[in-house]
Amino acid sequence: MNWLKAVRSVVGVLIGYALMVLLITLVQETWFGGVSYTKSPVGVLVVAGLFTFLSAVVGGYAAGLIAGHHPGWHGAVISLMVACETTWLISSGRTHDPIWFDTTAAGELVLGLMLGSLLQACVGATPHTPASV
């Protein structure tokens, strides 16, 4: 792996993660004024959950697109970052929602990230042409 691929990988992961966080913040804080299991109506939880999932899809797609290779690995790295962040939020008491809610939300992000990575892999794949005889 050359240095350019390594830099693109790091930048892809960082931008993919930042884009996901930015979009989630837009959805949950700006559009809905803060989303919480204990304070938000079920309808808000469903709609915000859908857009949160789509935010993760966009982040995973962007990470693979920027990296330019192995999009699934880049989505997996961001997923690991989400798992670490969720663990920290729960263990430090910074969230007041039930643990099952926070872990389900993190799982939703992981699925979205991996779906975005998979979509990028499919879109970015070069089609194979049959060999001439």
Domain ranges in the chain?
3-124
What pLDDT does 124 receive?
Answer: 74
Full-model pTM:
0.90
Mean pLDDT computed over 56-79: 96
Mean pLDDT computed over 34-58: 96
CA distances from 36 to 33, 81, 91, 97, 120 (A): 10, 21, 18, 7, 31
**What region does 33 belong to: left with phi over 0, alpha with psi -120 to 50, or beta?**
left
What pLDDT does 130 receive?
Answer: 64
If we measure between CA atoms, which residue out of 37, 20, 44, 13 comes closest to residue 102? 37
| Tens digit of each residue's pLDDT (9 = 90 or more) over 8-27 | 999 999 999 999 999 999 99
| Tens digit of each residue's pLDDT (9 = 90 or more) over 68-126 | 999 999 999 999 999 999 999 999 999 989 999 999 999 999 999 999 999 999 987 76
